[in-house]
Amino acid sequence: MRIFLLVFSFFLLHISVYSQQDPLPVGFAPGELESMERYLESRMGATRGITFPPNGPVRTMAEWEEIEALVITWTQFQSILRDIVRYAQEECEVIIVCNDSNQVKTYLQNGGVPDQNISFLQEPFNTIWMRDYGANTVYKRDVDSLILVDWIYNRPRPRDDDIPDALADFTGYPIYSTTTPPYDLVHTGGNFMSDGFGTGFSSRLVIDENGPGGFFNPTSKTEAEIDTLMRQFMGIETYVTMPVLPYDGIHHIDMHMKLLDEETLLVGEYPFGIADGPQIEQNISYIQQNFTSVFGTPYKIVRIPMPPENGRYPNQGGDYRTYTNSVFVNKTILVPTYEQRYDTTALRIMREQLPGYRVVGINCNSIIQLSGALHCITKAVGAAKPLLISHQPLDDSYYSPTGFEVNALIKHIAGIQSATLYYTTDTTQAYTAVPMTLTDSLAATWTGHIPSTAEGMEVFYYVHAEATTGKQMNRPMPAPKGYWNFRVLERATSLDNPEKQGISLQAIYPNPSQQFAHVPIFSREPKQGSILLYDLTGKKLQTIFEGDLPFGPSNYLVETVDLAPGTYFVSLEVPSGRQVQRLVVR
């Protein structure tokens, strides 16, 4: 009876609060913070779904994986929602949570959106912010079976918090809920992203709200206990939590950061010293210094501008405009837009980073005023039986007479019938198919080889797999329009026989390097030359030495402490040719 009275009294209070706030922001509306205690009491211990962790290992889906549905809530900002449906319905089912499906159908039809791949879930709701309160797609044993995982929503919006249960009933997938101690967890979807292989990212908002002294979880969790819950329910083995930003207000990482693949972070960039720029840079530095991708290599960082509003950034009163608040929908990525002069650059960056994807801009000037955009109002439901392909793209490489090895993790619940590597040096021509073989059954690794390719050529390739059920999948998903690519670098003149030059570039050490590296040289006679440092694109970064190289051994120091983690090339260049070695910076 006490729980009933609490819920009933909270419901009455909620009606009063929401009748005055329309629409509600991603953050707290006036009066909501004062409602949190009653809301949490009504949520805590609720017997919703399965309230203990799933059995066996689990894996949270990455956003670039195949999805079967995109879920939205139909309320304010209907022109934006209509555009989402327009493009998403061509890729998957669109599930629309709404009050009146007929009203939605009429609006869509009047806007030229056909009635296809659309389902309606008529349920009460509070807000549009589906990302934050929607259910997470998780797989048992990587690809075996799909489950939904729901946290306690960190806003006093009980109808929103109930939507995952309604979605579970609608789809038929089991739902696990973090509502009952000791498994209770308050969290929000905009403050979480997964690489699909056990690494998750959030701001420390999740610690602030649940940890000792946390103001949103009465049971109070240590950071280690939060990590354990994320591992048990989500399969997150490495949980990267970063300091919150001073100006974003809601502290959700999707406002300034997005994983584009297993090793690439798209990061919002402000002009030097502006708004959240300094803290973003500190957070990225923290990631690079302490964590590596699932491939064991440093994360690649891609910058994308954070555009001002009327010349003002968030620290100057401008809206928190962002392009990272975009959403993958299979072969399409929807990107928020604001002004053409800024949008042009952002869309170009997205197309360069995601070749073959349909990159669609949707104007979000109206909704960004409430601190959210496209990612904030959508949530995906993964494919029921995914065909998982993961591969670390090849870097630019020097000519090899044996060609280039391509390894990929490929899995499906029913097993893999075949895998094929496709490559070309001209995307206007047909790709050549090379069968891949299962080289490690425990790791589900399939291997293929791109034949030896001439120096100076660019190679484009992708991986195709077919399950024993007949299901097929490409990675990158839009292949052959989408692809990975690398360049075959020109060999140094004396790379095979340095003795012909009478001088040799010996093994660089330490390699990998963190602060500095030694570049040993041995020369049979004095020579004029230079030692240069290049990045992967061939851009010269440093002149390590230039002048007379003495007879005998000599040693030169290259400082790497200020270099971003990644792969570089050290080149010894003399009149008779050049020698090059790879240098890895951690």
SS3 string of 325-391? CCEEECCEEEEEECCHHHHHHHHHHHHHHCCCCEEEEEECCCCHHHCCCCHHHCEEEECCCCCEEEC
Closest to 533 in 3D by CA, of 554, 503, 513, 553 = 513
Evaluate whether 443 touches 409 at the Cβ level (below 8 Å). yes
Scan for tokens 């296809």, then name that residue.
116
pTM equals 0.82
Answer yes or no: is pLDDT of 458 > 80. yes
Average pLDDT, the chain: 91
Assign 586 a pLDDT band (cuts: 50, 70, 90). Answer: confident
The pair of structure tokens assigned to 383 is 């494919």
Average pLDDT over residues 110-138: 98
CATH number of 2-382: 3.75.10.10
Scan for tokens 């909501």, then name that residue.
32
Answer yes or no: is pLDDT of 218 > 80. no
User: Which sequence spans correspond to the domains of the chain?
Assistant: 2-382, 388-489, 498-585
| 388-489 and 498-585 share one fold | yes
Query: Distance from CA of residue 492 to its chain's centroid?
Result: 37
Answer yes or no: is pLDDT of 431 > 50. yes
Average pLDDT over residues 468-483: 98
| pLDDT tens column, 85-96 | 999 999 999 999
CATH number of 388-489: 2.60.40.10
> So what CATH class is 498-585?
mainly beta
Answer yes or no: is pLDDT of 13 > 80. no
User: Cα–Cα distance between 341 and 312 in angstroms, integer?
Assistant: 15
Evaluate whether 558 touches 516 at the Cβ level (below 8 Å). yes
